[in-house]
Amino acid sequence: MSPPYTELQLDALRELANIGSGTASTALSSMLGRSVDISVPTARALPFADAVDAAGPAEEEITGIVLGIVGDMTGTVLLLIPPADADAMCRMLGVEPDDEYALSALGEIGNIVGTSYINALASMTGMDLEPTPPATATDMLGAIVETVLASHAIANDIALMLDSNLKVEGEDCSISFLLVPDKGGVELLLSRLGLG
């Protein structure tokens, strides 16, 4: 059984997620022209089946934007936006939700927000990290999360999920982030944070 992460390690990872989402919220704020708040991130190390359940009701429809991380560490950043919130954000960018550009507007939001998150991680840890281009899907939450986790499901069964929430002020509108590092990635992050 792979060693679970200690509270101290999870705290450090939470702090990392905090800074990542703080930077991301600034980027989202300038993009939308609105104030964006962040919630305190959660850091969970869970067996895969529980990780999918922890993300929310499996059949709930949600918009997911996924970016890969390459460089000193590999992994995935998954942004989850409820469809109504995704529509609201499109409108804030001046794009109607059923417009043909709506999907690429969302991809762009995902790109900018995801990239600033990854850049923050890189500068916090001194690692060389680059995002890969985003891909978007609107579908069942369970299917989206499990597909992302499955691409990391190699030797071990535990998924590390760092979950932050960005809320657009004045709107009932939020984005959830999941950072899913590949197994070696977590160890690397922790050692860069002095807790390996």
Partner 1 sequence: MGELAASSISGHVLVSLGLGSCIGLALLDRKLGVAGLAHVVLPQSQGHAPENPRKFADLAIPQLVTELETLGARKQRLEAVLVGGAAMFAVSSASLDVGQRNEAAVRALLKGLRIPVLATATGGNRGRTIRVDVSTTSVTVREAGGKDTELLAGTRALETA
Binding stretches for partner 1 (CB under 8 A): 1-2, 47-49, 52, 58-59, 61, 64, 66, 68, 132-133, 135-147, 149-151, 153-157
Of residues 52 and 92, the one with the C-beta less far from partner 1: 52
CB of residue 39 vs partner 1: minimum separation in angstroms? 24
CB of residue 64 vs partner 1: minimum separation in angstroms? 8
Whether the Cβ atoms of residue 149 and residue 48 lie closer than 8 Å to each other: yes
Q: Measured between alpha carbons, how far apart are the two ends of the chain, in Å? A: 18
What Rg, from alpha-carbon coordinates, does the chain have? 16
Distance CA 98, CA 9 (A): 44
Residue 59 structure tokens: 């059949």
Distance CA 145, CA 136 (A): 13
CB of residue 133 vs partner 1: minimum separation in angstroms? 7
> Could you identify the residue written with the tokens 């979950």?
163
Distance CA 85, CA 30 (A): 17
Of residues 140 and 193, the one with the C-beta less far from partner 1: 140
CB of residue 62 vs partner 1: minimum separation in angstroms? 9
Burial 79-96, CB ≥16 within 10 A → b, else e: bbbbeebbbbbbebeebe
Of residues 8 and 150, the one with the C-beta less far from partner 1: 150
Of residues 122 and 144, the one with the C-beta less far from partner 1: 144
Residue 167 structure tokens: 């809320």
CB of residue 107 vs partner 1: minimum separation in angstroms? 11
Of residues 42 and 132, the one with the C-beta less far from partner 1: 132
